[in-house]
Amino acid sequence: MLTNTLKTGILISLFSGAALSLSACSTVTSGIDSVGHGVVSVGESMQRKIADVEVKQLKQDQFFLAQSFDEPVNSLDSWALRIESREVCPQGYIYLSRNARKMGKFAYSAEQCYGEMNCSYKLEWQIQCADVPEEPFSLFGKS
């Protein structure tokens, strides 16, 4: 049988190990956050140089943003439009609408763009400034 002092020593060891593990997790998480913010800032600076975003103010707190693409529509999301949205609405924003606009048919794959089809389209957002906190960085994408 184990003595009371031995049992106490084992319990203290287990709790100490758990506490160290939890503190290591927070250290790893803060390290991942700082690396993530670095990656995001590099990506944003590159997007500012290469992306041409059109911004029009509709009302005092509403904006129209548009970006042209020459590829099949994969998503209604754009890093460049997110950057410009944060520029015009630093406290945050909500989407009023997000559309892909084109006069003809949309391409479904990149192969269609290489010969037979014009794949250009315009991604358009209408946003309203609102007090919305910025999403935290995640290695696994948006939640």
For the segment 62-114, what is each residue's pLDDT rounded down to a tens digit?
999 999 998 888 899 999 999 999 999 999 999 999 999 988 888 888 888 88
- For position 47, what pLDDT does the model report? 47
Give the DSSP H/E element, type plus range, for residue 123. Answer: strand 120-129
Query: CA-to-CA distance for 97 and 54, rounded, in angstroms?
Result: 16
3 pLDDT more than 90: no
Separation of alpha carbons 43 and 39, rounded Å: 6
Predicted local confidence at residue 13, as pLDDT: 59
| Cross-strand partners of 53 | 67
Q: Does position 39 have pLDDT exceeding 70, yes or no? A: no
Tell me: pLDDT of 51 over 80: no
Residues 6+ apart with CB under 8 A from 123: 66, 67, 68, 69, 76, 78, 81, 98, 99, 100, 101
- Please state the pTM of the whole predicted model: 0.61
pLDDT at 139: 67
31 has a pLDDT exceeding 60: no
Q: Where are the domains of the chain?
A: 7-50, 52-129
